[in-house]
């Protein structure tokens, strides 16, 4: 290989694929980035067997070829190069890659390309195209609700259910549940799978382009992949049966509350300063007439309280929650006001929704307290 | 106590004094901030017996008094308050402080003020006034050269020597030494002391005002204190004898080199990517004619090299250093070019200076290598 490319493009490509390079990889070769150059393109591959990433950038190819470079060193070297273009030349004899840019010259030991498990597109049962902002919204509004307990792997991912024209993404840790739906114009087919939350986080971070783009999604029963213009990402799935989320949403509510998302969020953030010091992070909500009184108590630290205006239809209710579960959803509500749907007593789950959009619902079960 | 003050001023005062509140304090009372209000002023004290800090802000005092609030909670509560003003009221009966601002209301448990070791100004042997930018430069250009080995406490601080009109600050870890001098118009007296590097770091961070201000320094043989307009900081000193730093500076050099600080710094930063992976972070400098060839080798990783232009008077020299010791000083050189003074062989210490200012000198001993 003997090529030249733009430093800024190479730096960005490396930083994307490095997300699939673990700091303590399973085998030494996985500490590397696989490089392949041909026909005006440099392709970078990285994988940890859980996630696989491929990024393509333009390059002037004098001689094509493949090799594996040490990932972390390659990243640090390229990032610090002085010039705007980078030349990469593979020296097969001493198994090294020269990296040169203006006055700076590096030689890094390379690894044999044949040993690398390159990232390949697997055939899918279902393929569809989705706008990046739609996919972003699906992920952002659900992934935060995932569980973290590795003993219950099903809850550490988001469920993706495709059924006809409807695509539903959902996540739960059994105490709270987030569901977001999108309806497509055409039939997509039928599949249910569970995507690891970490991968969805990477998808979110990678979709940073300001121009709306189309993303091709390919699903099979053991892998999902996302193709952007210059980027391909594939992920293993979580095996298991995700609970039927629609059964968890209460069929009816007793009161409806409308309040300012920002005002609610700030007040809960403040009052939870005190609740964080008690074991269950318990915060109390008293919906009385046109007011919501939020309070928390900790014998060791003290007490916090705040009253904010609300508009309510239905009877008053006092109910307690884990403050974190309320904070989490409020960070992901985009509308100026949010809607709370309350049950008839302090033991019933409540729902949080955006002001006008019914495609998202968040259900959270209360904490049972003495008073 | 029953007072009102500006939230922004209280937040800033708390964040300054919190630097003296350890996360695991020696006694519970030291987890608190001591508050004292009288005559239009709220005074905040904090100490960990090593450093003591006092900040004064304006306040509307309805009733004066003293109390101790839990530091971390007080900080988090005040920072998140919604309004622009904060009211603090001490409830002596249930030993608590109410903190209110607009709709938010907190009650935090307080501690008895009499138990708190308030920070006091100790009488000094020597007192002088110094401009903040002069003090900043003294600290910034020396403190980075301190050692970190707690078994040799003398080297974990900066030596401050006052002798007549001359004030010298110096720091060394025995492999490298930084000295910065300031000459005053009047006689200051004579004293030698060692200030813990951590305290000097705090002084640097605290001197953030954009308007040049005067700082009063009071030195005794066991404490040093710095008084700014609304701030008082006192620190214990390190006991012991600091070596005579002027003996360490070579009396003469063989070659003089002038080169771009930025160009030198970037090249060393890049080449040290490779040296970091060898045990002693060794980087090689070859001063040949009008060029400096910088290189580093690591059998496991690879090789880096870069050549930059220099202007040299005197013979050529090849010499090796710990790359970190070179990087550290270059970050603290303010002039566009820097001067290197080289000895007659690869075993002699070199000096690094600013282009025209002789009040600062950095001496670093080379690493002896095979080649």
| pLDDT tens-digit map of B104-118 | 999 999 999 999 999
Cα A241 from Cα A239, distance rounded (Å): 7
Mean pLDDT on A177-184: 96
Is the per-residue pLDDT at A19 higher than 70? yes
Give the separation between CA A14 and CA A16, rounded to whole angstroms: 5
CA distances, B5 to each of B13, B67, B78, B83, B107 (Å): 11, 16, 11, 11, 17
Min mean pLDDT across A51-60, B179-188, B201-210 is at: B201-210
Q: For residues A110 and A99, what is the distance between their CA atoms, to the nearest angstrom?
A: 12
B103·A76 Cβ contact <8 A: no
H/E segment holding residue B107: strand B104-109
- The pTM (predicted TM-score) of the whole model is 0.86
Residue A280: per-residue pLDDT: 83
Identify the band that residue A203 occupies on the pLDDT scale cut at 50, 70 and 90: confident
Write down all domains in chain B, each with its CATH number in brackets: 2-115 (3.10.150.10), 126-246 (3.10.150.10), 249-364 (3.10.150.10)
In this structure, are residues B265 and B335 in contact, taking their beta carbons and an 8 Å threshold? no
Report the residue from A73, A77, A304 with minimal CB separation from B106: A304
Task: Quickly state the pLDDT bin for B209 (edges 50, 70, 90).
Answer: low
Parallel, antiparallel or unpaired: strands A337-342 and A255-260: antiparallel
d(CA A217, CA A159) in angstroms, rounded, equals 15
* Pairs across A and B, CB distance < 8 A: 89
Answer yes or no: are the C-beta atoms of B180 and B219 closer than 8 Å.
no
Q: Which phi and psi (to 5°) does residue A362 adopt?
A: -125, 125
The pLDDT tens digits of the residues spanning A40-87 come to: 999 999 999 999 999 999 999 999 999 999 999 999 999 999 999 999
In percent, the amount of chain B with pLDDT more than 70 equals 99
pLDDT of residue A371: 55
Which residue among B103, B304, B306 sits closest to A306, beta carbon to beta carbon?
A: B103
Contact: B104, A70; criterion CB under 8 Å: no
Two structure tokens written together for A290 = 């046109």
Residue B180: pLDDT band with limits 50, 70, 90: very high
pLDDT of A166 over the 80 cut: yes
Alpha-carbon torsion B194, B199, B202, B203, what sign? negative
User: How confident is the model at residue A336, as a pLDDT?
Assistant: 97
Q: Note whether A82 contacts B266, CB cutoff 8 Å.
A: yes
- Look up residue A280 and give its two tokens: 């269950």
Give phi and psi for B207, each to the nearest 5: -80, 65
Q: DSSP states of B296-345 as a string? A: EEETTTEEEEEEEE-EEES--EEEEEEHHHHHHHHTT--SSEEEEEE-SS
Instruction: Please spell the DSSP secondary structure of A265-289, one letter per residue.
Output: HHHHHHHHHHHTTSTT-EEEEEEET
Calculate how close chain A gets to B298, using CA atoms only, in Å: 9
Q: Which of A14, A80, A302 to mutate to test the interface with B (most CBs of B within 10 A)?
A: A302
Closest CA to A249 of A320, A333, A341, A312: A341
What is the three-class DSSP state of B174?
coil
CB B25 within 8 A of CB B117: no
Closest CA to A319 of A255, A254, A250, A366: A366
Task: Give the mean model confidence (pLDDT) for residues A213-226.
Answer: 91
In which element (H, E) is residue A107 found? strand A104-109
- Residue A209 confidence (pLDDT) above 70: no
Question: How far apart, in whole angstroms, are the C-alpha atoms of residue A185 and residue A280?
Answer: 44
Q: Which residue has the higher pLDDT, B276 or A6?
A: A6
- CA–CA separation, B98 and B110 (whole Å): 10
Q: How much is the average pLDDT of A19-41?
A: 94
Q: Which residues of chain B have a Cβ shorter than 8 Å from any chain A Cβ?
A: 70, 73, 76-77, 80-82, 96, 103-109, 266-267, 269-270, 273-274, 300-308
Q: Answer yes or no: do A304 and B267 touch at CB < 8 A.
A: no
pLDDT > 90: what percent of chain A?
86
Note the pLDDT of residue A59.
97
How far is the C-alpha of B15 from the C-alpha of B50, rounded, in Å? 18
A108 vs B70, B80, B302: nearest CB: B302
């Amino acid at each position: 290989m003997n090529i030249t490319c733009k430093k800024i493009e190479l730096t960005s490509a490396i930083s994307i694929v490095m997300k699939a390079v673990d700091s303590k990889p399973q085998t030494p070769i996985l500490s590397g980035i696989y490089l392949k150059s041909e026909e005006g393109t440099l392709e970078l591959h990285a994988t940890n067997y859980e996630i696989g990433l491929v990024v393509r950038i333009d390059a002037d190819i004098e001689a094509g070829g493949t090799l594996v470079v040490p990932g972390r060193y390659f990243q640090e070297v390229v990032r610090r190069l002085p010039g705007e273009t980078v030349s990469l030349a593979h020296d097969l004899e001493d198994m090294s890659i020269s990296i040169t840019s203006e006055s700076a010259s590096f030689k890094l030991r390379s690894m044999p390309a044949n040993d690398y498990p390159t990232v390949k597109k697997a055939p899918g049962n279902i393929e569809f195209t989705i706008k990046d902002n739609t996919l972003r919204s699906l992920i952002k509004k659900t992934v935060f609700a995932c569980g973290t307990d590795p003993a219950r792997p099903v809850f550490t991912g988001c469920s993706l259910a495709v059924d006809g024209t409807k695509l539903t993404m959902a996540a739960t840790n059994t105490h709270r549940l987030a569901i977001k739906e999108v309806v497509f114009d055409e039939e997509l087919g039928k599949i249910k799978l569970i995507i690891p939350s970490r991968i969805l986080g990477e998808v979110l971070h990678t979709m940073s382009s300001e121009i709306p783009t189309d993303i091709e999604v390919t699903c099979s029963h053991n892998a999902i992949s996302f193709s952007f213009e210059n980027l391909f990402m594939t992920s293993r799935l979580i095996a298991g049966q995700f609970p039927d989320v629609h059964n968890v949403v209460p069929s009816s509510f007793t009161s409806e509350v409308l309040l300012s998302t920002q005002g609610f969020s700030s007040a809960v953030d403040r009052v939870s300063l005190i609740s964080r010091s008690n074991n269950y992070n318990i915060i109390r909500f008293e919906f009385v007439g046109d007011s919501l009184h939020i309070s928390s108590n900790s014998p060791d630290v003290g007490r916090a309280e705040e009253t904010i205006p609300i508009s309510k239809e239905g009877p008053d209710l006092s109910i307690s929650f884990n403050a974190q579960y309320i904070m989490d959803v409020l960070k992901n509500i985009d509308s100026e006001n949010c809607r709370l749907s309350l049950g008839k007593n302090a033991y019933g789950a409540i729902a949080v929704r955006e002001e006008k959009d019914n495609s998202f619902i968040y259900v959270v079960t209360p904490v049972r307290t003495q008073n």
